[in-house]
Amino acid sequence: MFSDLISKLIMKISKFIWRGMHPSMTDQEFLEKEIAKWKNSPERLMQVKGFMYYDNEHDILKRKRTAIGRDGKLEVVDNLPNNRVIDNQYAKMVNQKANYLFGQPFSMECDNERYVELLKGVFNKRFMRTMKNSGKAVYNGGIAWLYPCYTEDGEFVFRLFPAYEVLPFWRDSEHTMLDFAVRLYLVMGYEGTTPKIIEKVEVYDLKGVHKFVLDRGRLVPDAETEEEANCYHVTMAGADGTVQGFNWSRVPLIPLKCNENETPLLKRVKSLQDGINVMLSDFENNMQEDARNTILVLKNYDGENLGEFRKNLAEYGAVKVRYDGDTKGGVETLEIKVNAENYKVIVEIFKKALIENAMGYDAKDDRLSGNPNQMNIQSMYSDIDIDANETETEYQAAFEEILWFVNAHLANMGQGNFEGEEVKVIFNRDILMNEAEIIDNCQKSAGIISDETIIGQHPWVDDPKAEMERLEKQKEKEREEMERQYNPFGQQDGNPANQGQGDQGGEVDEK
């Protein structure tokens, strides 16, 4: 383990040492070598495989049946059942963890109400969807990237890039400051009338976005773009129709990480997921091998070879045997039983281990039987909660970068300078709860703590501030209704005949 960490650290700094030792190497040559090394690196292949496994493209699909040949070595056998069953527990864990932390829209707290309203315009439902998708992307790839940009309609948005598309070059070993980055992605094009996959390369630095095509390992300037006009981070058309370019003062790529090591979730559970697939596939194979679950013992067979015997048995359901005097012919069987219970136990062990290693939770846990209390529920969620804390820490740091670009956008649009404004981003986790128990505790806390704190803990409230405003309006309406129903100086119950006497000197009718 220690040697792996050392090798990773050496790889992180080797690119800078290599470049310093070879001053004659051009920037383009340096990038070409780095891209070639990165494309087939184990780190990137694991990132790609994470997305493939999520999309049901597992290694079991490439599996072949083998048997021991005449020379004692394994050989591929084509005449045996070769089922490839996938029980995608990994994708279930990715969805579970992403929805736990990002399934509910996040909320913001800030003293500047106008700033909050402007932020809500940027962090709209479209952005909330991007954040939820980023949760799946970071668990599949260990890291994902947000790219602030403008649409053709001039709307400020954030695009999401998966981990396997971006090769970052960091300024520090902690991976907190980005020097520049390379994005490699595939597009479908044509060479004449023949379809062709084209490798596009974009280099993001402080000077802009430089676009290339990767042709046989060489970077060629993209002929479809005008280099000067498209080098800027942002291009806008002026009133006179001229295109103007602008650059951010930071590299416009924001890293989103699931943990500080940027480790994909698949790296923790791949062997367990593969084990589940193998066990289920082997069980189905054994169930289909009807003729091979029983070993056939031939006596005085009237045929040339075993291949002919198998063919006759499969086609006609009968075989010919000889009876020579004292030598009796026949077919006897040695039955091999497949114990389904063994497969069931092994698969259950694998599934439980996968959930624990993925730090998820089992929705069918015994602690949820009957009427579980909140302590049992929290105990079941303890692992996923610990892992979510680490991911949330990384996202909170990323939001500082996100808010910097948002503030720059608002300032450029003339909507105000909000640099230095403190904003608290709150991730509302989607956790199962015993609502009756929580509501009962809220009622018992009345008079001990403030109503605002109690409302904030109520399971039916998403926005405590809005709920306080609605409650105040409700109380005001009830006061007005009471005053209208009973007014000692006016009408009562809406009946003009019932006038309040007050101090008007009227006589009292005694009965």
Alpha-carbon span 28 to 51, nearest angstrom:
30
Q: What is the pLDDT of residue 449?
A: 84
* pLDDT at residue number 326: 66
CA angle in degrees (0–180, nearest 5) for 449-452-457: 85
pLDDT at 252: 95
Domain boundaries, the chain: 40-68+83-142+259-285+340-433, 143-257, 294-335, 445-485
- Biggest CA–CA distance in the chain, Å, is 139
H-helix or E-strand containing 219? strand 218-221
Distance CA 264, CA 139 (A): 6
Q: What pLDDT digit, counting tens, does each position of 174-207 carry?
A: 899 999 999 999 999 888 888 999 999 999 999 9
Per-residue pLDDT of 107-125, as tens digits, reads 888 989 899 999 999 999 9
Query: Is the separation of the CB atoms in 214 and 199 below 8 Å?
Result: yes
Task: Identify the pLDDT of residue 180.
Answer: 94
pLDDT of residue 502: 47
Tens of pLDDT, residues 481-493: 887 877 665 555 5
Torsion, Cα of 208, 214, 219, 220 (10° steps)? -90
- Taking 50 as the pLDDT cut, the residues of the chain under it are 1-3, 5-14, 17-18, 21, 228-229, 500-506, 508, 510-511
| SS3 per residue for 28-86 | HHHHHHHHHHHHCCHHHHHHHHHHHHHCCCCHHHHCCCEEECCCCCEEECCCCCCCCCC
| pLDDT at site 445 | 82
